[in-house]
Amino acid sequence: MKYTYLGRTGLRVSQLCLGTMNFGNVTSESDAFRIMDAALDAGINFFDTANVYGWQPKGLTEEIIGRWFAQGGDRRERVVLATKIYGDMDDRDGPNKPGGMSAYKVRRHLDASLRRLQTDHVELYQMHHIDRHAPWEEVWGAFETQIQQGKVDYIGSSNFAGWHLVKAQAAAAARHFLGLVSEQHLYNLMQRTPELEVLPAARDLGLGVIPWSPLAGGLLGGNALSAPAGSRSAQRQKDVEQHRAKLEAFAAFCSELGEPADVVALAWLLAQPGITAPIIGPRTIGQLETSLRAVELSLSQESLSRLDSIFPGPGGAAPEAYAW
């Protein structure tokens, strides 16, 4: 495994981040334990989750991770743990149930996450979405308190626009506060819009970028074309047909390279400036082991150009991408 710094911080994390959204929902607890053990053994020290994961019930994924930590063996000490806050969890918040980042929710939801995770702190606490109602004075005040109490080390964001990142950091700077250290964002070969403003803003502000859905929901995983139509959901089948020409060209190129499609998609992300660690969400040990190859695969400039021709980006950063 290779490691990098999380944005402008001194924290070193693996260049692949283990995503846990499937735990308790698609992946059983016993299989989740095996995947986390295998990831740790492979050198992946960066784990990502969220308070809402598990879905039925929400919080189940954090509980599974907490029970894995409780087994001991320095599991907790060896993991850089990231979780998230924003969505509603249950009816106990009353009128404050809808998603948001009020000081009230930060305090309550962080304490609940820590209980489920069976830990007294998280290294990275992420806002799962922008809250357009809570002022930054309130949000940063709430997070400063949690950091001062030792419950959180760093704050990250997810699904922010470029101008949200700038506003957040300007408000933090006015308080002489570190502010954000990372942005978790939808970014892959098929979704390159972030190259216009989000990625340039993150690089300028010194934020690490953590791409989620690096395989475009499985479309870049190599089996989207080979799976029988009847085995796919209606939406997946529609997506495959809409992008069939690109997916076929991508599959042919990966075959030329002699590399699995998901490995190439991950390696492309790692070749992009400012990327910290794509989030992988293996459902099996085999999928995890395949993903590890991406860290070692160095794509040539010719290969990167070929991928650009198959999956064209927006043309660079704004405004040059669409103006002079």
* Average pLDDT value for residue range 262-266: 98
* Superfamily of structural domain 3-221+263-301: NADP-dependent oxidoreductase domain (3.20.20.100)
Confidence at residue 229, expressed as pLDDT on a 0 to 100 scale: 64
Residue with tokens 């290969």: 303
Of 3, 5, 53, 322, which is the active-site residue?
53
The 10s digit of each residue's pLDDT in 131-142 is 999 999 999 999
Mean pLDDT of the chain: 95
Cα–Cα distance measured from residue 156 to residue 126, given in angstroms and rounded to the nearest whole number: 4
* Span of 79-93, 155-169, 202-216, 284-298 with lowest mean pLDDT: 79-93
Is 90 exceeded by the pLDDT of residue 222? no
167: its two tokens? 């506003």
* Average pLDDT value for residue range 221-230: 75
The 10s digit of each residue's pLDDT in 156-193 is 999 999 999 999 999 999 999 999 999 999 999 999 99
The stretches of the chain forming alpha helices (DSSP H) are: 29-41, 60-69, 103-117, 136-148, 162-174, 198-205, 234-242, 244-257, 261-270, 285-296, 301-310
What share of the chain has pLDDT > 90, as a percent? 89
Where are the chain's structural domains? 3-221+263-301
Residue 86 is among the residues annotated as catalytic for this protein = no
Other CB atoms closer than 10 Å to residue 31's CB: what's the count? Answer: 16
